[in-house]
Structure 1
Amino acid sequence: MADRILRFLRGEGPDSQGRFLRDVLAFDDGRLEARHDFIQWLFPLPEPSRAVPGSPVLSPEEASAIRADPRALKGLRAALGRMSRFYAETDHWLTRFDHNHLRITRIIAATRELLGREAAAAFHDAITARNAAAGHAVNDDSLRHWARALG
């Protein structure tokens, strides 16, 4: 189905595991940390995931459809809010190397592409401020990837 990401973000269709957007948004912090097969649905990119083969890949047509769909944008904003709370309320990612650093890059890039640079910059600013408050724990390469994803 060509519009499976759109349908997921609208709350109308399941991801590859049979979960709907509402199910993923209801994950507690422990489940968000432990699962690696949801972030590609919440924040789709036009290139395949190296971490989770078979994850959806955002086509230019589907990106346009998402940007034009108020319900999909509402779902994407809800996902951004949930992940923003996750990073604000947890500390384990505030270390030199962590898989969440890749997730953050994805979130910034997808947010920029689908919600706009302003929303992506707000998330980037919150993440980098959190890192600064933790004594600049995150490695410089990750910080550069986040800045590049912001554009």
Structure 2
Amino acid sequence: MSHTLPSGAPKRGAIHSFLRGEGRDGRGRLLAEVLSFDDRAIEGVHDFIQWLFPLPEPSRAVPGSPVLQPGEAEAIRGDARAVEGFRAGLERMGRFYGDTDGWLVRFDHNHLRISRILRATRAILGQEAARAFHAAVAARNQAAGAPINDNSLRHWQAALR
């Protein structure tokens, strides 16, 4: 089955194609492969999060990561299959943060990931979805005795605005 775009429609960006499950990330992985990562891979692999949760500025943590191009967020929001892929990534990361405790420390790279996830979720799925994800990670932090530093918590709050 052909996936031709209507005449005049913008060409899909790399992130959009990846979230649709058709394109590959910078390492040649399909969305399904990334979503099947076990928790150890989620923790240890650092070049997938920018594909699952794209932002319009370059990653400082992973140089060369994809950047959400102008109009690409709107195109993703208008594509049910890409939105489904984004939601699947959000669900996978929600399970990771729900099932693991290694990130529940004062400082951890996952705190930056959570800021990214919140910002991208707000841009693609909207404020309600971002707030729901925030509520889940904040509750885990509280249940663990609130070990996460205040600066990370402030970044999470800022990501919701």
TM-score (norm 2): 0.92
Following TM superposition, where does structure 1 have runs of at least 4 consecutive aligned residues deviating by more than 6 angstroms? Answer: none
Alignment correspondent of 1:139: 149
Matches within 5 A, 1:95-134: 95-134=105-144
- Please list the CA deviations of residues 74-119 of structure 1 after superposition, one character each: whole Å capped at 9, or x if unmatched: 0000000000000000000000000000000000000000000000
Report how many residues are paired: 151
Alignment correspondent of 2:73: 63
Displacement of 1:46 in angstroms is 0.5
Structure with the larger helix share: 1
Displacement of 1:2 in angstroms is 5.9
2:141 is aligned with what amino acid? N
1:47 is aligned with what amino acid? E
2:119 is aligned with what amino acid? A
1:138 is aligned with what amino acid? I
Alpha-carbon contact 2:13-2:69 (below 8 Å) kept? no
TM-score (norm 1): 0.98
Of 96, 103, 119, which residue of structure 2 is paired with 1:93?
A: 103
Alignment correspondent of 2:4: none
Alignment correspondent of 2:45: 35
Query: Which blocks of at least 5 consecutive residues in structure 1 are unaligned?
Result: none
Query: Which blocks of at least 5 consecutive residues in structure 2 are unaligned?
Result: 1-10
Secondary structure, counterpart of 2:68 in structure 1: coil
